[in-house]
Amino acid sequence: GRKQYGADQLDIYGQLIEAGQGRLASMAFGGDALAKGGKRPDTSVTIVAQQSAPVTLNDAGEGEVSVDIPDFNGELRIMAQAWTDERYGMAEAKTVVAAPIIAELSTPRFLAGGDQTSVALDIS
């Protein structure tokens, strides 16, 4: 009959790279391993997302939508969609929402317990 080929496996890695006296590495992800999950970071960014139910347009193709905006200063993007049985379309625009006087602390976007920072008060 046929003869079987022989195969041996050898590990010569130790002959290629000299063993060092260093410490073993450990895997760490996220950069906050020492915090062990502490409190969630505080953020002063307000995200506004509102939605309206469909609105029936008048003969001139106009409609009105009322949306409650929370205490907010910044830029809003307004998006609208329109459709009939034969056609559809969409449009979007940006608008700035600002109180007459705005006092704002300029802080880093995220802070966690134990962090230190400097802040500035902006009045406009």
Query: What span, in angstroms and rounded, lies between the C-alpha atoms of 55 and 44?
Result: 34
Widest Cα–Cα separation across the chain = 97
- Asked whether residue 43 is domain-assigned, the answer is yes
Give residue 86's pLDDT: 92
Give residue 20's pLDDT: 67
Cross-strand bridge partners of residue 104: 122
- Asked whether residue 23 is domain-assigned, the answer is no
- Asked whether residue 106 is domain-assigned, the answer is yes
- Asked whether residue 88 is domain-assigned, the answer is yes
Letter string b/e over residues 86-97, b meaning 16 or more CB atoms within 10 A of that residue's CB:
eeeeeeeeeeee
- Asked whether residue 112 is domain-assigned, the answer is yes
- Asked whether residue 42 is domain-assigned, the answer is yes
Give residue 60's pLDDT: 93
Quick one: which H or E segment has residue 80? strand 74-83
Give residue 38's pLDDT: 62
Q: Domain containing 106: what range?
A: 36-56+70-124
Query: What span, in angstroms and rounded, lies between the C-alpha atoms of 66 and 57?
Result: 14
- Asked whether residue 10 is domain-assigned, the answer is no
User: Model pTM?
Assistant: 0.47
- Asked whether residue 87 is domain-assigned, the answer is yes
Number of structural domains found in the chain: 1
Series of mean pLDDT values for 10-residue runs along the chain (124 residues):
79 70 67 61 76 91 88 88 91 91 82 86 88
